[in-house]
Amino acid sequence: MRQVVSHAQTHKGLVRKLNEDACLDLADSGVWVVADGMGGHAAGDVASQLVVDAVRVAVQRSNQPSVQLLTEALQQANSELCRYSEQHLQGNTAGSTVVVLLIDKFYYHLLWAGDSRGYLLRNNQLRQITRDHSQVNEMVEQGLLHQNEAEQHELANVITRAVGVDTAVTIDVVSGAWQPGDLFLLCSDGLNKELTDQEICQYLAHNNIAEASRALLHSTLVAGARDNVTCILVKVDNQAGYVNEKDKTIPVYARL
């Protein structure tokens, strides 16, 4: 029987005093979320939690999560954050990046705004599915900066899109057919700032995703963990024998 196994964790890192990341694991509904409150902005922890809560409420009210439902939930969160900033922060911005994974009967859907990422490991090949909404990524795409220089660039933390920053937010969506054995990684930038894609791929090779997830976090902490770090692993048709009690295994058809 086809199954989905997921494992989520978040950590404040070794430098920040507060964890402004939030995550959501709704395996029973086939929905997972990572939100990263914008560093340097007011109430980043409030912003990320509001985004996660908006998705949770929308999914719990629906019998069948969809791209449209999730998009509307994120747009609703955007409006709520704008009102919150106006009423409680004297107009200062409370914003959050976000990446959402939806897995239905045949397809996966990744929705995002900002630089929280969604990866797919398939046939031992790791690919970043999302595209960072960031200043340095635009420079890379324009040929003004090499990809290897992006993470260390002085503009590396400048985000060009996020929930709660403007009165309207555009949510990007990428969809595709999932295959048995696919492994998805959702993460805040605190992970990919410390580990290269090659290093991430090596840790994801572990047969047990809970162990792989813990290895990712441990390696991020060893590397310095300058930011909050959050990651969610979701594997389709997992054949690993042992699943620890925090993992969630569900039949794919149960989400239809």
- Give residue-wise pLDDT tens across range 11-46: 999 999 999 999 999 999 999 999 999 866 669 999
For residue 42, the model assigns a pLDDT of 67
DSSP secondary structure code for residue 171 in this structure:
P
Residue 254 in this model has a pLDDT that exceeds 80: no
What domains lie within the chain, and their CATH numbers? Answer: 3-255 (3.60.40.10)
Q: Are 180 and 123 in contact (CB under 8 A)?
A: no
Altogether, the residues listed in the chain come to a count of 256
* pLDDT computed for residue 100 by the predictor: 98
Tens of pLDDT, residues 188-210: 999 999 999 999 999 998 889 99
Q: Output the pLDDT for position 217.
A: 97
At 245, the pLDDT band (50, 70, 90 cuts) reads: very low
pLDDT at 241: 36
pLDDT at 251: 35
Nearest alpha-carbon partner for 186 in 3, 10, 2, 4: 10
Spatial contact of 21 and 228, defined as CB atoms under 8 Å apart: yes
One DSSP character per residue, 102-157 reads EE-SSEEEEEEESS-EEEEEETTEEEE-S---BHHHHHHHTTSS-HHHHTTSTTTT
Mean of all residue pLDDT scores within the chain: 87
pLDDT band at 243 (very low <50, low <70, confident <90, very high): very low
Residues forming a β-bridge with 183: 121, 235
Q: Between 207 and 256, whose confidence is greater?
A: 207
pLDDT value for 255: 29
As a whole number of angstroms, the distance between CA 24 and CA 33 comes to: 5
CA distances to 112, 115, 123, 142, 208 from 241, rounded to whole Å, are 32, 34, 19, 46, 8
Provide the pLDDT confidence category of residue 169 given band limits of 50, 70 and 90: very high
